[in-house]
Amino acid sequence: MKVARRTAVLRIVGLTAVLGVALALPLIAPDPATTNIAVFTVMYIGLATAWNIMGGYTGYISLGHAAFFGFGAYTLGLLLGHLGIAGGYTAFLLVPVAGLATAVLAVGIGWFALRTRAATFVIVTIAFMFMLQLLAENLVGLTGGGAGLSFPVPPWGGDYFNTPYYYAMLGLAGLGLGISWWIRRSKFGLGLLAIRDDEDKALAVGVPTRAFKLTAFVVSATLVGMIGAVYGYYVTYIYPQFVVDPLIGISMVLMVFLGGLGTLSGPVVGALILEPAQLSLAYNFGATRLYLVLYAAVFLLVILLLPRGIVPSVTDLLTRWRSRTGPSAPAPVKVLTP
C-alpha cells in the first residue's frame, strides 16, 4: 500500500514542520505585535480543542465555558495575590493548581447540568456562566468586584514580554491536542462518540453515559481553566465581564464549528482562521459598534455556507478526488441487502 505509506510519511513531516515553526516563532518574528497575535491565536487553539472534547465528541454543546475560563483566571490571580508570589516564572507553576480548582467546579456544575438533555443543557451552562459572572462582580471582598483583580507584573519586559506567555499557551494547546488525540482513539472516546450518535442506544449497550459525559466535561473545563489562568497573568488585570465573557465562550464554539465539530484538526484550523480575523476586525473597527455587525456577518456566513466545517468538507473532497484517480482507489461501498 504505497499510498498509505506515503500519506503517513507526509503527515509526520508536515506535523514536524508545523511544530518546528510553532516552537521557533518568537525567534522568527520577535516583534510584539506579531507575538501578541500568536499568543491569542494559540490560546484559542487550546480553547477550541478543549471545548471540542465535550461539544464535539459527546454532542453536548456548552455555551458557558467562559465560566471556567474566568474561574481559572480569578483562581490564579487570587492564589498569586494571597501567597504573595511576585511576578516571574514561578507563577506559571501555579497554573495547574488553578486547573485543579476549575476541575472541582466543573464536577459540581457538570453533575448538575448533565441531569438534563441536550437543549436544556445548553441553557443551564449559560445560566451557570451568568451566575459566575454575578458572583465575580458581587463578591467584592474576594474578587475586587467591578474594580477588577490585578496580577503580579513579571520582571521581564520590552519586546520579550509576550514570549513566556506564548510558550505557556503553546504548552497548554499541545497538552489539549494530546489529550484530545488520546481520547479519540481510546475506548472511552468510542463511548463518547456513541453517546453523540444515540445516547439511549449507548445506554442499552452498557455505556455508562453519565460518568463518561461528566469526565469529558471536567477534562474540557480543566484545560479551559488553565488557559484562562495564563490569560489573566498575561493581561495582568482582569474584570468580571471581560473574563467571564460570553464572547470568549461563543468564539471557541464558532471556531470548532468552522473547523469541523468532533475532528482533531478542526478546532486548530478554526482558531487559526478566526482569531487573527477577529483581532484585525477589533483593531480596525473596534471603536465603532459596527465591529459587532461585521463579526456577526462573518459568523453567519461560516455557519450557513459550511455547516459541517472545513476539515470534514475538505476530507470529503479529497476522498472523492482520490477515488477517481490513482491505482489504489478504495473499492466502492456495497450498500445492498445481504
Footprint on residues 148-177 left by other proteins (CB under 8 A)? none
**19 sits near other proteins (criterion: CB under 8 A):** no
All 3 cell numbers of residue 102? 476549575
State the minimum distance, in angstroms, from the CB of residue 154 to other proteins: 33
Residue among 57, 71, 233, 295 that touches other proteins (CB under 8 A): 295
Query: Which residues in the 67-86 window bind other proteins by CB under 8 A?
Result: none
**273 sits near other proteins (criterion: CB under 8 A):** no
Residue among 7, 16, 138, 280 that touches other proteins (CB under 8 A): 138
Q: Cα–Cα distances in Å, from 6 out to 9, 14, 19? A: 5, 12, 20
Helix (H) / strand (E) element for 29: namely none
Strand partners of residue 94:
none
DSSP conformation class of 116: S
Question: Which C-beta is closer to other proteins: that of 38 or that of 177?
Answer: 177
**61 sits near other proteins (criterion: CB under 8 A):** yes
Contact 136, 240 (CB under 8 A): yes
State the minimum distance, in angstroms, from the CB of residue 118 to other proteins: 6
| CA atoms within a 13 Å half-sphere pointing along the CA-CB vector of 254 | 22
State the maximum Cα–Cα separation within the chain, in Å, rounded to a whole number: 72
Residue among 172, 177, 230, 254 that touches other proteins (CB under 8 A): 254
d(CA 45, CA 32): 20
| Size of interface with other proteins, in residues (CB under 8 A) | 73
**327 sits near other proteins (criterion: CB under 8 A):** no
Question: Which C-beta is closer to other proteins: that of 6 or that of 115?
Answer: 115
Q: Cα–Cα distances in Å, from 136 out to 68, 83, 129, 143? A: 12, 20, 11, 6
Helix (H) / strand (E) element for 238: namely strand 237-238
Count of residues for the chain? Answer: 338
**131 sits near other proteins (criterion: CB under 8 A):** yes
State the minimum distance, in angstroms, from the CB of residue 145 to other proteins: 10
State the minimum distance, in angstroms, from the CB of residue 138 to other proteins: 5
Stretch binding other proteins (CB under 8 A), from 13-21, 276-284, 292-300, 321-329: 292-300
State the minimum distance, in angstroms, from the CB of residue 28 to other proteins: 35
**205 sits near other proteins (criterion: CB under 8 A):** yes
DSSP conformation class of 330: P
Query: Which residues in the 89-118 window bind other proteins by CB under 8 A?
Result: 112, 115-118
Contact 284, 290 (CB under 8 A): no
Question: Which C-beta is closer to other proteins: that of 40 or that of 57?
Answer: 57
All 3 cell numbers of residue 70? 474566568
**203 sits near other proteins (criterion: CB under 8 A):** yes
